[in-house]
Structure 1
Amino acid sequence: MMASNDSQEMKESQGRLSSNEETPEEQQLQRDLKHLELLLVRCRDMRTTIPRMLSGMPEVARNNPNSREAMFGELVNHMKSAGSEIQDFAALYTSEESKKVLEKAKKSHAANPKGIKTWFYHDHPDWANVTSQ
C-alpha cells in the first residue's frame, strides 16, 4: 500500500510546476517577446541607415579633395551596406516567425481588447530614439 501512495505522490508532483518553472506557453511568450525585441532593435537601426551611410563622406572628401571617384566609390560601398541591412530587416520582418508572433498578438488583442490601446507611431514621436526609453 505504501508503494502505491508514493507513486501517486510522484505523479501529482510531476503534474505541478515549482514556483520558478515556466509553462510551455510562458516559454513561448518569452521567445515571442525576444523576437519582437529583435524586430524593434532592427527597426531602430533602420532609422540611422542614411546618417551612417553619409557619416564617412567628409573624411573621404578631406583625404581626397580632388577625387570625385573616391567619394563616389565610398558612397557606393555605404549604399551596398545599407541595402543589405534593409534586406536583412525585410527578411526578418516577413519571416514566418514574425508573421506568427504578430498574428498571435493581433488575435489576442481582438479576443481581449479591454485596456489595450492601439499604438500609433504619431502618438510617440520619439519611439525610435533608444536613449529616450
Structure 2
Amino acid sequence: MKWINQKIGRQLMFAFYMVFIALSLTSAIVYTYTERKIDQTNATFDDLRERRTNANTLANEWTLVQSNVKSYVLFGTPEILDTIKANQREINRLTTWFEKMPFTNKERNMRSPPGHFMMITSGPPFHC
C-alpha cells in the first residue's frame, strides 16, 4: 500500500509541476505580448500627441496670418509684413511636416506640390 501511495504522490507532484510550468510559460508569453502592445500603443499616442500639437499650432498660425494680413492691408507697416512672413514660414514648416508624416492612405494621396503657400511680396498695400 505504501508503494501505491508513493507512486500516486509522484504522479500528482509531476502533474502539479507540469501545470505550474505551463502556467508560468503562458504568463511569460502573455506578459511579453502585452508589453509589446503597450509600447506600440504608447508610440501611437506620442505620434497622435505630436500631430495634435502641430495641428493646433498650424490653426493658430493660420488665424494669426489672417489677422496680420488684414492689419497690413489697413496700415501697410513693414513690421506687420515681417510678422506675416514669419507666420508664413511657420505655416510652411508645419504643412511640410504634415506632408512628410502622412498618417493614413488618404493623407498620403492628398499631398500638395512644393511651394504651395503663396509668397507675399513687400510693397504698398492695395488701395481701392
Which TM-score band applies after superposition, normalised by the shorter structure? 0.3 to 0.5
Could you say which structure has the greater relative contact order, defined with CA pairs below 8 angstroms and 6 or more residues apart?
1
Greater helix share, 1 or 2?
2
Name the larger-Rg structure.
2
